[in-house]
Amino acid sequence: MSELTSVEALITLLLNCVCTELDTAGRPVCSCAVRHAIQWPSMEGCCECEAASGHAKTHGQAWARFQRAEPVQGTPRADNTQCGRATQVTIDLGVHRCVSAFDGNSARPPTPAQYTADSLALINDEYHIRRALSCCPEPQPAGALAGWRWDVTTSLPLGPMGGCAGVVVTVVATGIMRAAPVE
């Protein structure tokens, strides 16, 4: 039997909420994964694919990224160690989508209507990400996330880069770090 830490449980829970919401809203993505990156994950693979959710075709990738963890509250022991002290964790959740771009192969850049449609679609994604994170179920009273709480904070646009653009929403969570058995 392995263990799941608080951060692993939290990032998995939040990403699952985002991907479920995007799918339910008719905006499914090609992939939904935790990504390890010092900055926002790269935007490769943001264009058309066959959706696993049963939708004929879709595009995009949803992702979550562990940004940082910092100790908060509590008093250090005499040897200056921290045991059972609360931790504040910052997690980014986002989506990258294929957008209209001037690639040099066509005679003209995208029209204002194409730019507007892409921008409004990403603003719609931001709404659904924020909704998913705000409505994600409370953690179980026992387990790695017992007592954890989170707040949805900032949203930022990403890109465009190479025909991809996106949005990122940041979550700040606080709780006691622990590990719980995975059944």
Listed by start position, the domains of the chain span 3-75+85-181
pLDDT band at 1; cut points 50, 70, 90: very low
Residue burial 107-140, b: 16+ Cβ < 10 Å; e: rest: eeebeeeeeeebeeebeebbebbbebbeebeebe
**Tens-digit pLDDT profile for residues 99-108:** 988 776 777 8
Which of 63, 50, 18, 45 has the alpha carbon at shortest distance from 161? 45
pLDDT in tens, 23-74: 999 999 989 999 998 888 888 777 767 655 555 557 899 999 999 999 887 6
User: Residue 137 has which token pair?
Assistant: 């179920």
pTM for the model stands at 0.86
Report how far residue 21's alpha carbon sits from residue 18's, in angstroms, rounded to the nearest whole number.
5
Cα–Cα distance measured from residue 165 to residue 119, given in angstroms and rounded to the nearest whole number: 9
Residue 77: Cβ within 10 Å count: 11
CA–CA gap between residue 90 and residue 10 (Å, rounded): 11
**Residue type present at position 109:** P
pLDDT confidence band for 85 (50 / 70 / 90): confident
Q: What CATH number was assigned to the domain covering residues 3-75+85-181? A: 3.30.2000
Length of the chain: 183
- Phi then psi dihedrals of residue 145, to 5 deg: -105, 10
